[in-house]
Amino acid sequence: MAEAHTKNHDYHLVDPSPWPFIASIGAFLMALGAIGFMRAVNNDTFIVFGINLTGWGLLAVGLLIVLYTMYAWWRDTVRESHAGHHTRVVSLHLRYGMILFIASEVMFFVAWFWAYFDVALFAGEAIQYQRVEATGGVWPPEGIETFDPWHLPLLNTIVLLLSGTTVTWAHHALLHNDRDGLKWGLTLTVILGILFSLLQAYEYSHAAFDFSGNIYGATFYMATGFHGFHVIVGTIFLAVCLGRAVAGQFTPQKHFGFEAAAWYWHFVDVVWLFLFVAIYVWGAGPLH
């Protein structure tokens, strides 16, 4: 009888899990909360079925639910791996999933690049856009003082590229079972990720243009701001990997969690190179 239930295949059927349902609830509350928050910022109200949802409270509740779901769901996935359920086929499918996720992120940034190049290459037509000032037929628009690409943006580029080398060092150290090299490489990568975010925040605080009121600011902040958000997410991703490395959860044979974080971080590096060349260098105006 026991032999009838013996597992003789490379696939794994997960146990019944509440996390997909709970995640959908959290995402729904975040969506409603985001509307309420944006309405509050614009001094408006958001009322659904007689309930006033204006403000940031519902957004915070939804975010907390999503964050806890992410922690608990990934914790269960790690436990499945330690229990031996991540067979060769399951591991391959996890990699396929990460590849498809990064591919979707590529298309996400293609949209921002498309928007930027649309108004940059056809600046004379930007006057047709509503609620933005005319560009004067040139790019950058008249009156916009852009950043000098060879100062702070170049420094941020160096910081991010250096972080790509440290995460690669950590990966190679793990493959050779060098635990100290793994920890130091991840530690330096997390520090460089935090430094990049701080430098970008400093850059934003000294910008000579705002997000609203002009098409240059809108496209600049959407592209670089979403990249900055991805850097923060990647830094947290790598910090979690550092904690797992300290706990000894990675082995040279099994370390997909770290591998996925490294792939994501290299993707962030490559996107920044395109941003630096397209927006900071190619799109730079006369230096003052």
What CATH number is associated with residue 47? 1.10.287.70
The pairing of strands 51-52 and 47-48 is antiparallel
**59 shares its domain with 37:** yes
Give mean pLDDT, residues 232-252.
Answer: 94
Number of folded domains that form the chain: 2
d(CA 155, CA 55): 38
Torsional sign, CA 252, 269, 76, 68:
positive
**49 shares its domain with 93:** no
Confidence of residue 286 (pLDDT cuts 50, 70, 90): low
**79 shares its domain with 143:** no
Q: Is residue 287 part of a domain?
A: no
How far the first Cα of the chain sits from its last, in Å, is: 82
* Residue 47: strand, helix, or coil: strand
Boundary-marking domain end, from 85, 118, 144: 85
| DSSP assigned state of 219 | H
Confidence of residue 121 (pLDDT cuts 50, 70, 90): confident
Give mean pLDDT, residues 186-192.
Answer: 97
**72 shares its domain with 100:** no
**63 shares its domain with 27:** yes
d(CA 49, CA 285): 50
**79 shares its domain with 95:** no
Domain interval for residue 193: 86-282
Percent of the chain whose pLDDT exceeds 90? 69
**188 shares its domain with 233:** yes
Give mean pLDDT, residues 251-278.
Answer: 95
**10 shares its domain with 138:** no
CATH number of the CATH domain containing 197:
1.20.120.80
Q: Is residue 105 part of a domain?
A: yes
d(CA 162, CA 110): 25
d(CA 200, CA 232): 11
| pLDDT at residue 45 is higher than 80 | yes
Out of 54-58, 74-78, 134-138, which region has the weakest mean confidence (pLDDT)?
134-138
**210 shares its domain with 275:** yes
Q: Is residue 288 part of a domain?
A: no
Could you give the angle at the alpha carbon of 116 between the alpha carbons of 110 and 118, nearest 5°?
95
| pLDDT at residue 130 is higher than 70 | no
Boundary-marking domain end, from 85, 120, 144: 85
Mean pLDDT (the chain) is 89
**114 shares its domain with 148:** yes
**81 shares its domain with 94:** no
**99 shares its domain with 42:** no
Give mean pLDDT, residues 169-182.
Answer: 96
Q: Is residue 112 part of a domain?
A: yes
Give mean pLDDT, residues 211-234.
Answer: 92
Boundary-marking domain end, from 85, 103, 131: 85
Out of 54-63, 116-125, 135-144, 213-222, which region has the weakest mean confidence (pLDDT)?
135-144
